[in-house]
């Protein structure tokens, strides 16, 4: 008899698609497991009329799922890594999985107009403080309208609220097969993405680790692993949460002199948006982060 593994997931369309992606990848290599998806409603899903910064910050999409892991109600969970706080509960483990999807933010225009060409005072929908400050830096005249909800809810709100456009993650639209509605992609040096945007993560209880290690090698991607590690370290060092605008993107690459990482950071300090970019060897990551902090005048 095949072992049945219970996989926790948020109940949104995108979350279920992402969870199934991980399951499908495992099944390519290990047919001796069966998987059951357990849908879990989180605080962030239930309270969509308030900004995330007002209802608990980064953990609002994972606390109930982590509780189910600790109680043994599920064996593993699939998350969007960008939803994960740096610190996770004791007796749980978190790992980046699969190849990273496009990390960029995208603009979806109601009438096809590009962001820079929008009329003066255009209304743009986004509840992300990180996106808001970077968009306002590009176009100080725009009006920001906070909107939350799943992807299709936000698209519906764009029409209902008569918005000129909304900003979403490329990864979510790609995974839902909605690439055709994207008006333009923001380059990551123009709008620095959220740490780990486009990366999926699996979280498990330590008691499940022996079984998980049987198929983890099949679903880990080296480049994604490095990028997630650096971006989560930046999250830790800068000590930010959903109440403070912060973007971080680490791009891994290989050159003749070794493995390299290019780091882009956007950080708001005393109402001023600061940006910086550095490139160096993977082994020099800690030194690069120290230089970033000095460049920003401390944190």
Q: Is the pLDDT of residue 38 over 60?
A: yes
Phi, psi (degrees; rounded to nearest 5) at 27: -65, -25
Q: Which residues have a Cβ under 8 Å from the Cβ of 199 and sit 6 or more positions away?
A: 80, 81, 82, 96, 100, 101, 103, 224, 227, 228
Q: Is the pLDDT of residue 55 over 60?
A: no
pLDDT computed for residue 56 by the predictor = 59
Is residue 247 within 8 A of residue 265, CB to CB? The reply is yes
Q: Using CA atoms, how far apart are residues 130 and 242, in angstroms rounded to an integer?
A: 9
pLDDT-derived band at 123 (thresholds 50, 70, 90) equals: very high
| Overall average pLDDT of the 109-115 stretch | 97
Task: Quickly count: other Cβ atoms within 10 Å of residue 62's Cβ.
Answer: 27
CATH 3.30.160.40 matches 234-295: yes
Bridge partner list, 108: 166
**β-strands 76-80, 3-10: how paired?**
parallel
| Overall average pLDDT of the 26-53 stretch | 83
CATH code for residues 105-185: 3.40.190.10
Residue in the block written with tokens 């969970």: 77
pLDDT computed for residue 3 by the predictor = 87
Residues of the chain with CATH 3.40.190.10: 3-98+199-221, 105-185
**How are strands ordered across the β-sheet holding 258-269?**
246-255, 258-269, 272-281
Q: Which two tokens stand for residue 227?
A: 């990028």
Q: Using CA atoms, how far apart are residues 131 and 193, in angstroms rounded to an integer?
A: 8
Q: Is the pLDDT of residue 298 over 60?
A: yes
Give the CA-trace dihedral at 51, 52, 54, 55, to 10 degrees.
130
Q: Using CA atoms, how far apart are residues 284 and 31, in angstroms rounded to an integer?
A: 41
pLDDT computed for residue 77 by the predictor = 98
Residues of the chain with CATH 3.30.160.40: 234-295
Bridge partner list, 3: 33
Q: Which two tokens stand for residue 210?
A: 């022996």
Alpha-carbon distances, residue 80 vs 86, 99, 117, 218 (angstroms): 13, 13, 32, 19
Question: How close are the terminal C-alpha atoms of the chain, in Å?
Answer: 55
CATH code for residues 3-98+199-221: 3.40.190.10
Q: Is the pLDDT of residue 45 over 80?
A: no
Alpha-carbon distances, residue 296 vs 136, 262, 266 (angstroms): 20, 17, 10
pTM of the model: 0.93
Q: Which two tokens stand for residue 186?
A: 């923001």
Q: CA nearest 168: which of 144, 186, 180?
A: 186
- Active-site amino acid positions: 82-83, 130-131, 148, 154, 242
């Amino acid at each position: 008899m095949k072992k049945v593994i219970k996989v926790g997931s948020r109940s949104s369309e995108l979350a279920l698609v992402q969870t199934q992606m991980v399951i499908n990848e495992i099944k390519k290599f290990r047919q001796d497991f069966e998987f059951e998806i357990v849908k879990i409603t989180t605080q962030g899903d239930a309270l969509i009329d308030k900004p995330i910064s007002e209802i608990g910050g980064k953990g609002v999409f994972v606390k109930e799922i982590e509780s189910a892991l600790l109680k043994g109600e599920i064996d593993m969970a699939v998350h969007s890594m960008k939803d994960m706080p740096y610190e996770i509960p004791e007796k749980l483990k978190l790992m980046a999985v699969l190849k990273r999807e496009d990390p960029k933010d995208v603009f979806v225009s109601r009438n096809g107009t590009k962001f820079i060409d929008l009329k003066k005072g255009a209304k743009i929908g986004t509840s992300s403080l990180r996106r808001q400050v970077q968009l306002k830096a590009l176009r100080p005249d725009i009006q920001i309208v906070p909107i939350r909800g799943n992807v299709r809810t936000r698209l519906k709100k764009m029409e209902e609220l008569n918005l000129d456009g909304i900003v979403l993650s490329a990864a979510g639209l790609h995974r839902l097969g909605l690439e055709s509605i994207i008006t333009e992609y923001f380059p990551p040096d123009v709008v620095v993405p959220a740490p780990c945007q486009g990366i999926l993560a699996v979280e498990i209880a330590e008691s499940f680790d022996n079984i998980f290690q049987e198929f983890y090698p099949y679903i880990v991607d080296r480049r994604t692993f490095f990028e997630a590690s650096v971006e989560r370290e930046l999250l830790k060092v800068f000590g930010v949460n959903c109440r403070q605008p912060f973007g971080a993107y680490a791009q891994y690459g290989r050159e003749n002199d070794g493995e390299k990482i290019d780091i882009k950071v956007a950080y708001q300090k005393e109402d001023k948006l600061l940006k910086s970019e550095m490139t160096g060897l993977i082994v020099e990551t800690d030194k690069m982060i120290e230089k970033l902090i000095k460049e920003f005048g401390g944190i």
